[in-house]
Every structure is written in C-alpha cells, then in structure tokens.
Structure 1
Amino acid sequence: MSKPSRRERIQEEFESGKTDFAGERLHGTRLDGVRLPGVNLQEARLTGANLQKAVLTGANLRGVRARAADLSGADVSAAVLDGGDFNRAKADETNLRGASLVESNWYLVPMTKADLRDAHLQRAQLRRCLLDGADLRGAQLTDCVLRQARYTQDTQWPEGFDGTRSGALGPGAVATGAWHKRAILIQYDLRGAKLEGIRLQGAFLVQCDLREADLTGANLRGAHILDSDLRGANLSGAILQGADLQSAHLTDTLLERASYDARTRWPRRFEVSATGAIGPATKLKERDLSGAKLPGLDLSGCDLSGANLQGAVLSRATLRGADLRGAVLSGVRADGCDFVKALLANTQMDHANLRRCLFTGADLSHADLRFSDLRKADFTGADLTGTNTEGVRK
C-alpha cells in the first residue's frame, strides 16, 4: 500500500477532527482544492505551496511563510493572515473578503480581480502588487504601503479613499516628484497621470500606456521606454539623456526644452530637431533657454551664441568648444561644467555658480563674471582680456 501524500494526510486528519497544524513544514506541497475551513496553520511553512482553489475560510494563518505560494482562486475569506509573508505569491481571483492581513507582506503579488472587500490591511505591504480589477471596497488601508502597486480603471477602492494619490500607479495617478529610480513597470495604464518631476532614472517602462500623461520635468535619464504609448503626453523639460525611446509612440508628444544627448535613441525617422528639444542636433543659436534644466548634458561644439540661458541649470554639463559668444548666463547653475576651449567672449555670466568649472583654453575676453562663485574653477590658458571679475568668490 502506497504511503499517502502530505495533502492526503492533512485532509484525512482534518476530516478526522484534527484542526491544529501550526508550524507544519509544507514547502512546495500540493494542497490545491483542499477543504480546511477554520484550520490552524499558524507559522506554517508554505513556501512554493500550491493552494489553488483551496478552502481556508476562517483559518488561522498568522505568521505563515508562503513566499511564491499559489493561492489563485482560493477562498481565504474571514481568515487571519497577520504578519504572513506572501512575497511573490499568486492571488488572482482569491477571496480575501473580511480577512485580516495586518502587517503582512504581499510584495509583487498579482491580485487580479481579488476580493478584498472589508479586509484589514493596516500596515500591510502591497508594494508592486497588481490590483487590476481588485475589489477593495470597505477595506481598511491605514498605513498600507501601495508604492508602485498597479491598478486599473475597474479597481474599486474604499469609499473616500483616493487611490490616485496612494502611491499606486494607474489611470490618473498623481505621483508628482515621486522617486521610482530603476523601477520596472510592465503594462501599466497611466493615461492622464500627473507625473511632473517624477524620477525614473534607469527605469523600465514596458508596454505602458502614457497617453496624455504629464511628465513635465521628469527625469528619464537612461530609462528604457519600450513599446509604450506616449501619444499626446507632455515631456516638456524632461531629462532624456541616454533614454531608449526607439520603440515608443511619440505622435503629438510635447518635447519642448526636453534635454537629450547622443546616446538617446529615437524612433526611426523621428525628427527630433523639430520638437523644441535640446540636444546635439538642435539649433540653439539665439534661443530662449532661460531656466532650462540641462544637468549633465553634452553640448560640445554647439552654437549657443546669443542664447538666453539666464537661471538655467547646467551642472556637470559639457560645453567643450561650444560657441557662447554674447550669450546670457546670468544666475546660471553651472558647477562642475566643462567649458574647455569654449567661446565665451562678451558673455554675461554674473551672479553665476561656476564652482569647479573648467575654462582651460577658453575665450572669456570681455565676459561679465561679476559676483560669480569661481571657487576651484580652472582658468589655465584662458583669455581673460577685459573680463569683469568684480566681487567674484575665488
């Protein structure tokens, strides 16, 4: 006679009246479809276990370790899961209605169409959860962490709870100035989202819908925007150095004053020079760039003569050999900027931050440097004929 499986043993023992399985080691065990209402599995080890369509209504699952477990379609309503670890588990269409999930961890868990009505989620970690179509009506979300959780138009939130400002990302989300460096966002619906100044350096945005989204001043340096829809989006003033936009849809995308460099990849036949963006292929002569944010941008050899860069941010930018004759750089923040062999004759650079700048071999004849900060700047071999240095800090 073959030895019964752990699943069969637990089901038989439960049906015989045993309900206490606290601390059981059930790593990777197939428990799909088991019926264990009210069972005590406190602090059980369920890592990688298959609990699909299991019935665990009213169960005690406090402190369970269920990383990568599959609870898809399971009925865990009214159960207690406080302090449980469900990191990278699966909970699509799981019934968690009325369950207590206080201080539990659901990092990166797909919870599509999960029933979380009246659930207790105080201080729970739902970071990067996929809440597509989930029902959270009546749920308690005090101090619940929803950072980068994905929601959709049919996700239902508790009455009075503003999901767009919760840290979760979805249609109409408000994430102004949020920090999502190196985030991985796959198939996020961010139509009409307010993402001004969002920081997405090195992030991956794959098949995301960003139509009509506001990304004004967003930092997308080195971001990979793959097969994403940016039609009608506003990227004015965005930082796009090193960004991969080759497969992005950019019809009617606003790029005025967005900065890019030679590493930025654009869609085939995309005419970046006609967008108002600022970069190596752009005509910048006599252009109004006042207040533009161009940190770290490489504009070596560019013609910026007569341009207005008053109050612009050029920190750590490279302007080697650039023509800035007659340009206005009053109040510019250019600390660490490379002006080697640049043409700066008759340039207004008063009240500017020029600390640690390299002016080696540059032509600064008759330039106005009054009251600028020149500490640790290098003027080796520079032409300073007639340069006004009144009140400078050295």
Structure 2
Amino acid sequence: MLNNYEPFELWQEYELGKRNFCGINLEKIQLEGWSFENADFSVANLELASIHRTGFIRTRFRQANFSRANLELVDLQENDLQGASFWRSHLFRVYAEQSNLTQINFCEASLIECNFTGADLSSADLTNSYIKNGDWRGVNLTGAKLKGAQLIGSLDLRGASLTLSQLNEAMIESTVKLPETIPR
C-alpha cells in the first residue's frame, strides 16, 4: 500500500496524466468537487473517506475498500466496482447507473436516494443494509443477499431480477415498488 495522499497531491498527479492509482492508500481522504475519468483505483484503501460532489467516470474500483466511508452526491456511472467493500458506509444520492457492482459488500451500509438503474449487483451482499428511496429499476440482483435489509420509502425495484425467497429475508415497506413478477 502506498503512503497516504493529500487531496492536492492526488489531483496534481492526475492532472499530470497519471491514471493508475491501484493499491493507493487514501484512508480518511476528503474529496469535494473533483472529477476523475478513466482512472484505476483498484484495491485502493478509501476507508473512512469523505467524498462529496465528486465524479468518477468510467473508473475502476475493483476490490477497493470504502468501509465506513461517507459518499454524498457522487457520480459512479459506468464504473467497475466489482468486489468493492462499502461495509458500514453511508451513501446519499450516489449515481451508479450501468455500473458493475458484482460481489460488492454493502453490509450494514445506508443507501439513501441512490440511483443504481441498470446496474449489476449480482452476488452482492446487502445484509442488514438500510435502503431508502432511490431508483433501482432493472438492477440485476441475482444471488444477492438481502438478509435483514430494510427496503423503505419510495424505492423503485421494478424490473429488477429478484426472487421472492430473497425478499422474504428482507424487511419491506408497502411503499416500495417491487418487480412485477413478485406478488404482494
């Protein structure tokens, strides 16, 4: 793991053309108002990071550690986050449409007003997560674990690949819009 970076150092290297940040230690980093494109943060440590109003376009975060991080108004569209960990993280208005979120760990995470439309969350672990409001239409949740997950508010799961047995392990408010194939 590389040494901890300050936000300015990270931005300076990015502006000088560096795109490979694999394994970088960004623990407790605070990013606000930044934009990264086509970068690779695979296996990066972003534990306890605070990321606000920042965009990561077509960026890789394979097996990155976002445990206990706080992400607000973050753009993760078309990103590859396969196997990343967001254990006990807080995500508010995170946009990850069409992203690869396979095998992601959202255990005990809060996902509020997030847009994951068309994202692939197959084999994701959402155990004991808190999911409120948001657009999850067409999300692939094949093999995802939902044990103890709370699905509440105006969460839209229409068109999501989800089974009744998966939902039986979750707590679901009547306001949640379920896939058409799931009876109420």
TM over 0.5, yes or no? yes
| Correspondence for 1:169 | 171
**Native 8 Å contact 1:71 1:90 kept in 2:** yes
| Correspondence for 2:81 | 81
| Correspondence for 2:125 | 125
| Correspondence for 2:26 | 26
Q: Which has the higher strand share?
A: 2
CA–CA separation in structure 2 for the residues paired with 1:26 and 1:111: 22
CA–CA separation in structure 2 for the residues paired with 1:162 and 1:141: 6
- Residue 1 of structure 2 is aligned to residue 8 of structure 1: no
Number of equivalent positions: 170
**Native 8 Å contact 2:142 2:161 kept in 1:** no
Shift of 1:162: 5.9
Shift of 1:71: 1.5
Shift of 1:78: 0.7
**Native 8 Å contact 2:88 2:109 kept in 1:** yes
Deviations 1:110-159 (A, max 9, x none): 11110010111010111122211121101111001111211124111142
CA–CA separation in structure 2 for the residues paired with 1:68 and 1:92: 13
User: Secondary structure in 1 aligned to 2:150?
Assistant: coil
CA–CA separation in structure 2 for the residues paired with 1:153 and 1:21: 37
TM-score when scaled to structure 2? 0.85
**Native 8 Å contact 2:103 2:124 kept in 1:** yes
| Correspondence for 2:149 | 149
**Native 8 Å contact 2:139 2:161 kept in 1:** no
CA–CA separation in structure 2 for the residues paired with 1:57 and 1:45: 19
| Correspondence for 2:180 | none
**Native 8 Å contact 1:78 1:98 kept in 2:** yes
Q: Which residues of structure 1 form unaligned runs of 5+?
A: 173-188, 190-394
**Native 8 Å contact 1:157 1:163 kept in 2:** no
Q: 1:16 to 1:112 in 2, by over 3 A?
A: same
- Residue 15 of structure 2 is aligned to residue 47 of structure 1: no
Of structures 1 and 2, the larger Rg is shown by: 1
Identity %: 20
CA–CA separation in structure 2 for the residues paired with 1:160 and 1:109: 20
CA–CA separation in structure 2 for the residues paired with 1:132 and 1:82: 23
In the TM superposition, 1:1-394 aligns within 5 A as 6-159=6-159, 161=161, 166=167, 167-172=169-174
Q: Which residues of structure 2 form unaligned runs of 5+?
A: 176-184
Shift of 1:32: 2.5
**Native 8 Å contact 1:164 1:170 kept in 2:** no
Say which structure, 1 or 2, has more relative contact order (CA 8 Å, 6+ apart): 2
Matching residue's letter, 2:65: R
CA–CA separation in structure 1 for the residues paired with 2:25 and 2:43: 9
Question: Which structure 1 residue ranges, 4+ long, deviate > 3 Å from structure 2?
Answer: 160-165
**Native 8 Å contact 1:19 1:39 kept in 2:** yes
Deviations 1:236-275 (A, max 9, x none): xxxxxxxxxxxxxxxxxxxxxxxxxxxxxxxxxxxxxxxx
User: Secondary structure in 2 aligned to 1:91?
Assistant: strand
Structural RMSD (CA):
2.0
